[in-house]
Structure 1
Amino acid sequence: MREQPPYLRVADLLRQRIADQEWAPGDRLPSRAQLAQECGGVGENVIRRAQELLISQGVLEGRAGSGTYVAEPRARLRMVRSQIGGRDGAPFVADLSVLGERGTWESNTEAKVPAPADIAARLGIAEGDLCVRTVYELLSDGKPVQLLTSWEPYSVTANTLVVLPEGGPHAGKGVIARMAEIGITVTRAVEQPEPGHANAEEATLLGVQRGALVTRIQRTYYSDDGRAVETADIVLPASLGVIAYEMAVG
C-alpha cells in the first residue's frame, strides 16, 4: 500500500484539531510557518496544499489579505427517500429543490466494467459480467454532500440510447425514466441502510474527518419481471444530512 501523501495527512490533522474544538468557526488559523512546525516540520507548501483541499471541501475558507479561517458549519440536509422519487428526474435534485437549494452533481462513467462478486450477486448476474459503472459526487450549492456509485448490467442497455446514464439524449433523467425509454418498467426499489464510518477516500471527497459517521444505503431497482436493472451504493455523512423515508399508505 502506498504511503498517504503528506498534504492529506496534514489535512486530517487540521480536521481533527477543528473537531476537537481547538479552533472554532470563524477562528483564524496560525501562519503556515507555525503550522508547518506543529505538523512535524513539513514544508509550507504541504500546509498550503492541505489548506486548499480543506477550502475546496468547505472546512476552511480563505480571505484575501487576511488569512485562512475555520468555515461556519453547514446546515444538515433532510434527504427524503420516497416510493415515487426519481420518476421525473434525479431524486437527489428533487429533494434539494424542495429545500430551495441548488442541487447538482459531477459524474464519471465507465462502460464494460467487470462486476465484482458482491455487485454481481445484487444484480443476479455472473461475477465478471460487464456493467456500466457511474460514480457520482452530489453537491449542494457546489459543496459535496453525498456519494453514489451506480452499476447497471451492460446487457440491459447495450446498443441503446440510454447506455450511458449521463450521456446522450436522456442524460440525467434517472434510472426509472431511462429504463422506460427502452421499454423496461421499474416497479420496485429495495434499500438497505446501515451505519458506517468514512474511509480515507470518502473523507477526502466529502470534507469530513476520516472515520466520521456515515449512513450507507444499498439500493437496487427491479423491473416488473423481477429483474435487477441497477444497484447503487450511497454514502451520506451524518454531519451533513439525515435520511427520512416517506411511503404511501393505503
Structure 2
Amino acid sequence: MPSEADYGVSRIVVRDAVKVLASEGLVIKRQGAGTFVRALKPQQRRIVGDFYGSRPTSSPFARASKAAGQAPEWEYQSRATTAPKAIATRLNIAAGDPVMRTNHRFFADDTPVMLSTSYEPLAITEGTPVEQPEAGPVTGVIPRMDAIGVNITHVTEEVTARAPRPYETENLRVPAGVAVLAIERTYYADDLPVETADIIVAADRYTLAYKVPIPPAEGA
C-alpha cells in the first residue's frame, strides 16, 4: 500500500483512498502480501446476434469458449420439481406444474465465469431422450429440442446489473465492489416458451457485444 511519503498525505488518507478503490473493485487486498491493482480487461466476450449465427449442434458456451481459445468446463445438477409463480409466468404454464430445473456453474480455463438456473416444462420433454439436459445424447437447448421435433424460432433476453448475492459472490469468486450482470433468457418455439433461465456473470469478466441483423429495405 502507498505510504504518506509517496504522495505527501497522511496514512489515514491513503487507507481511506484504498478502501474506496477496494469498494469499487479496482484493487484487491491479499493477506500478508499487500494491495494490488486488479486486471480489469474482461476475460470473456459474449456475442449476441452472432451467438447463433448458425444453428448450434452443441453447447453454445463450449463453442464460444473454444473460439476464444479457452477450455470450457461446467458442473451441473438437474432435478424434477414444480414451477414457482414467477417461472410459471415466463413459461406460460400454471404455478406448480412439473418442470426440470438445472443449476450450472461454467468455467473457462478453470475460472468460474457464469452461473445459470434453467427451467423446462416436463410437458415437453418428459419421457424423451433429452428429459435430462446433460445426460442425453445431445446437449444445448436448441439441438436437444431439435432432437424431439421442437423447432426453436427465437430467444429473448433481458439484462440488468446489480450487486451480487452471497452465493454468487462465493461461486463466481466476485471481488468486493464488482457488480454482476443478470440475464433472463427464454427460448421459444413460435409462441411457446420451451425453456427459461436466469444467468449470472461477473461484470468484470464478461462483456455483452451485440451484432443484430437488420432486415433489408423494401424493394432492396
TM-score higher than 0.5 here?
yes
Which residue number in structure 2 is paired with residue 146 of structure 1? 114
Which residue number in structure 1 is paired with residue 12 of structure 2? none
Which residue of the other structure, out of 124, 146, 151, is the alignment partner of 1:180? 146
1:1-250 alignment runs, 5 A limit? 19=25, 21=27, 23=29, 29-30=31-32, 73=39, 75-76=41-42, 77-82=44-49, 84=52, 87-111=56-80, 113-170=81-138, 173-209=139-175, 212-224=178-190, 226-250=191-215
**RCO greater where, 1 or 2, for CA within 8 Å and sep 6 or more?**
2
Distance 1:69 1:161 in 2: 52
Contact residue 25 and residue 176 of structure 2 kept, 8 A: no
Which residue number in structure 1 is paired with residue 19 of structure 2? none
Q: For this pair of structures, how many residues does the alignment match? A: 192
Gap regions ≥5 residues in structure 2: 1-21, 216-220
Deviation at 1:106, TM superposition (A): 1.1
Distance 1:207 1:195 in 2: 17
Which residue number in structure 1 is paired with residue 11 of structure 2? none
1:1-26 Cα offsets, whole Å, 9 max, x none, are xxxxxxxxxxxxxxx69957474xxx
Deviation at 1:146, TM superposition (A): 0.8
Classify the secondary structure of the residue corresponding to 2:153. Answer: strand
Contact residue 153 and residue 229 of structure 1 kept, 8 A: yes
Backbone CA RMSD of aligned residues: 2.6
Gap regions ≥5 residues in structure 1: 1-15, 31-66
1:72-108 Cα offsets, whole Å, 9 max, x none, are 7474111112362662221112222221111221111
Contact residue 161 and residue 169 of structure 1 kept, 8 A: yes
Amino acid at match of 2:92: G
Which residue number in structure 2 is paired with residue 41 of structure 1? none
Distance 2:176 2:130 in 1: 36
Deviation at 1:235, TM superposition (A): 0.7
1:29-80 Cα offsets, whole Å, 9 max, x none, are 32xxxxxxxxxxxxxxxxxxxxxxxxxxxxxxxxxxxx99979747411111
1:216-237 Cα offsets, whole Å, 9 max, x none, are 111100113x110000011111
Contact residue 25 and residue 38 of structure 2 kept, 8 A: no
Which residue number in structure 1 is paired with residue 17 of structure 2? none
Classify the secondary structure of the residue corresponding to 1:203. Answer: helix
Amino acid at match of 2:94: A
Distance 2:49 2:143 in 1: 16
Q: What is the identity percentage for the equivalent residue pairs of Structure 1 and Structure 2? A: 34
Amino acid at match of 1:201: Y
Amino acid at match of 1:92: F
Taking structure 1 as the reference length, the TM-score comes to: 0.69
